[in-house]
Amino acid sequence: MSRASQLLSRWLWPACLAPLAACGVAERTAADRFTRSGELLALSGGDAGAANACFACHGLNGQGNGAGAPRLAGLDAGYLARQMDAYADGLRRHPEMESIARQFSQADRQAVSFHYAAMPFDPGVRGEPVSPPPALYTAGDPARGLQPCAACHGLAGEGGGPANPPLAGQPAAYLAEQLAKWRRSERRNDPGNVMLGISRRLSQQEVAALAAYAATLPGRPEYPAAFPAARRDDPRNDASTPRRHAAAR
């Protein structure tokens, strides 16, 4: 156990457990030790120290802070761990996240990822959905070789399998910033450079419109890819073979 965790379990733990339970954070199956140690890391910041505790920016329920810090709740555990690795390796640039990820061992990155993957997505109060949706989201633009965003991220922004993350519940500013990061080569870990290729073909206006639209999507509260039983038969589980057409829902 790290020093920070020891400290936490000695004095902070009893003090904060009651309010956290009231917030619903302590909802978990008692048998899930892996998730529980991830919970400890999320609340303590592990070896990165209490000042870097995930919940401070990503929220007690992992829904993000509505601005720069994204929702983590219900994202696929493998996706989350891969992003932590990318921050640590400098393939995804962000000062705070790089510093935090570098102070987490691989095992701790995985444990905290499982913790957030098991948290339910809370659609909460979103803005009014933009209507009609941008054509690029639902139909793409074959002339520019652009598949519809919905083919991989889902018509409700719920994501598709472990590789294609949900966009629903993510702040518009965060989504637009990610597309800009790919163009600036500050995010370089997307499988097959799929998002790099897409982001380079979008204008600033298109990025703004797509981000604003995706941020209002409802997603699915129980994101199925977070649960191993649901992912087994999911044909979308391979990022290299995305669905060609948006599924009819």
Contacts to ligand HEC by CB under 6 A: 42, 52, 54, 56-58, 68-70, 72, 75, 80, 83-84, 92, 94, 96-97, 100, 112, 136, 147, 149, 151-153, 163-165, 167, 170, 175, 177-179, 189-191, 194-195, 198, 210, 239, 242
> Residue 195 and residue 178: Cα distance in Å, rounded?
9
Say which residues have a Cβ less than 8 Å from residue 39's Cβ, sequence separation at least 6. Answer: 25, 28, 115
> Residue 225 and residue 162: Cα distance in Å, rounded?
6
Shortest distance (Å) from residue 8 CB to ligand HEC: 13
Shortest distance (Å) from residue 160 CB to ligand HEC: 8
> Residue 10 and residue 12: Cα distance in Å, rounded?
6
Shortest distance (Å) from residue 98 CB to ligand HEC: 9
Nearer to ligand HEC, 35 or 83 (CB): 83
Shortest distance (Å) from residue 134 CB to ligand HEC: 8
Nearer to ligand HEC, 32 or 237 (CB): 237
Nearer to ligand HEC, 26 or 179 (CB): 179
> Residue 70 and residue 96: Cα distance in Å, rounded?
13
Distance of CA 102 to CAs 87, 97, 248, Å? 8, 8, 42
Nearer to ligand HEC, 208 or 229 (CB): 208
Query: Which residue type is seen at 91?
Result: L
Backbone angles phi, psi at 32, to 5 degrees: -85, 80
Nearer to ligand HEC, 129 or 191 (CB): 191
Nearer to ligand HEC, 118 or 152 (CB): 152
Shortest distance (Å) from residue 226 CB to ligand HEC: 13
Query: Which residue type is seen at 134?
Result: P
Nearest Cα neighbor of 239 from 168, 180, 151 is: 151
Shortest distance (Å) from residue 194 CB to ligand HEC: 5
